[in-house]
Every structure is written in structure tokens, then in C-alpha cells.
Amino acid sequence: MDLTDEAFVARFGFLFEHSPWVVERAAARRPFADLHAGLMQVVADASEDEQLALVRAHPELAGKAAIDRTLTAESTAEQASAGLDRLTEAEFERFHALNAAYRARFGFPFVICVRLTDKAGILAAMEQRLGHDRTGELATALTEVGKIVKLRLEDVL
């Protein structure tokens, strides 16, 4: 891919939710044999504080950002693909309770690649992952970020 660093960032900056720094750093490391792997290596090489900031940049599922329509276009479409824009009152309350419990336990929002599951799968994962320790859960959240980025990248390539 023969793009200037600026054009690379402009083309792929949306891949990481409100975190263009990942793509900016990756631009300086090009070329990559595998673009996704190169991008995720930037995440792996980042400090724990930067990794936490990346995870914290993600919205809560079926949360306030979905209600007040401040989600990115990508997140809006992804949450809709899992039916999170069509929750019953009971489902919404369950998501809200699990989001609150998760954030209280780990200090960051629950992240899952919603395009690879559905409402029931997301709720089950939220409940199951509440049993993780913080270190393991941060690693799981970053793995899920990688899945999200891979699908977003496939959409544009």
C-alpha cells in the first residue's frame, strides 16, 4: 500500500475507537506483511496506560452513547448488527446492571466484538468475564479490540 503517512492515518484512523495514535504509530512502522498484525503489534508494544486508554475509548454496550446517539458510525452499525438497538426494557436494564458491575470491577468498559455474537451471547460473556482478574480481562478486552479492528479493516480493503 503506497500511501503517505498522512494518507495512511486518514484512511485507517477510524479502526481504533477514538484512538488514532495506534494508526499514527503504525504508519511509521510500515510496510507490513500483514496490516492487521502490524496494527496490533503497536497495541502490544504500548504501555499499560495506553492500552487502558484504548479500551476505555470504547462505549458501553447499549449504554448512554447509544441512547444519545454519540456513538461512532462504526459502533452504531456494529451494535445494531447484534440487536442492541432493539432491546426490551428488561434487556436494557440487564445490560445497564452488567455494564455497571463490570466497570466497577475493572475500571473500563466491557469490550466484545458484537459482530461475532448476539444479545444472548454478549450477556453470557459479560456474566462470565466478571469472574476474570483485571490483568486477564484487560488481555481479553484487547483481543476483542483486535477482532473489531480486523472486521473493520476487512470492510475497507
Residues noted as catalytic: 58
Taking the C-alpha atoms of residue 26 and residue 20, their distance in angstroms, rounded to an integer, is 10
SS (H, E, C) 78-119: HHHHCCCCCCCHHHHHHHHHHHHHHHHHHCCCCCCCHHHCCH
Nearest Cα neighbor of 13 from 93, 122, 106, 5 is: 5
118 Cβ neighbours under 8 A, 6+ residues apart: 82, 83
Indicate the residue type of 12.
Answer: F
